[in-house]
Structure 1
């Protein structure tokens, strides 16, 4: 594997993307955001990839934005206003690319996921965390409220929990993060990669077209009025039912055999 900011490794239909700035706790520099945006765009059209795993190199998942880089922008005549607006817009585009991917995305979190790093984990479809991992939106501790990380966080955890995290700057343990819905699974020491791989392989074994339409429907129906949500998902299920592979899957279930999918 090369020393690029985003390392990619494919095996068994699973693409693993590794944030590769371990000395900076994988902080989201301008270059890192650009590299991850590009990597996600490539995955969107890659039919050989059925599941994506996002992880960090070294001892942390991601420590958020690169504060040194942000402070340097204050030297501009506008005190960095244009640079900050551009940074947050590009970061938001990258975060939105994760739920927009057709493939399920699993965050594999070790160490810390803080501020925009917590946002990154929450923007993934699922999270597997090490037992000693910690999650925080702690910008308030340095006088910067985590307003953009709040968007992803409030779509994963109850409002009161999110507000407490945002206003106190306190961290959640992996166990607490699982209790409130931010984390799906917790791995014991030394087993994080194996636990993540196990989940990824389970997803990769499904009919990928069904997972793709299901993921799209999952996000599209959120926030819709009840009747509109049922109308949308009913239409998607009708579409799904007419596929050859779905017909074969149902026949195989009824006949107690393994489906012969073209997928």
Structure 2
């Protein structure tokens, strides 16, 4: 049987340690093609490029690049998936794996995440997809504890399939392998960011702003991604890109909208 074709992308950029680590892990499972941003794109969400040109070029990041194909893209993570599926790959990948992100994409963070938006874009195109994130924002983050878990999740997803219309959001706690208790299938915790802008003035007298804020967990449930991470588990949240609030349809149908 031919090896599975694995498309890899991220939002931290093609040279990010998390992506380089993921390439190594996935090369043990299948044939790898990397299409990733040429510069960091964190927090881009599902943005796509509409009003400027896109560029892509074949890359050779290290000597092991001879074992797989790598391309940089000047656009967003979602652009990378579109470019890969429409222009670069000659066949549909068996799975798309995005990450490993430097930092958490649990709870409400999934809405802002370029890592997850790349995976969601693949899911929209009918490609099974998983976004991986490590809860460590450091560029020197240690991903070694995640290796066996990442390989297991991807292998199981390839073997069993991911339900149609669903993308997996996987977050890994910043722990040693021995400290990680296992993997939990979770729901997304209810939370938000209490944000504010730090107003400053530059040397020319012009005001500018830095966005700051604090994460506010509003959910005490023990079946959430935040609970799992806080208690030493890897969280896996099946995430759907159909944003319809089906439970609200009957209520809104009672409005007098057509009178």
> TM-score normalized by structure 1?
0.30
Q: Of Structure 1 and Structure 2, which has the larger fraction of its residues in helix?
A: 1
**By percentage of residues, which structure has more strand?**
2
Q: TM-score, with normalisation over the residues of structure 2?
A: 0.30
**Structure possessing the higher relative contact order (Cα contacts under 8 Å, 6 or more residues apart):** 2
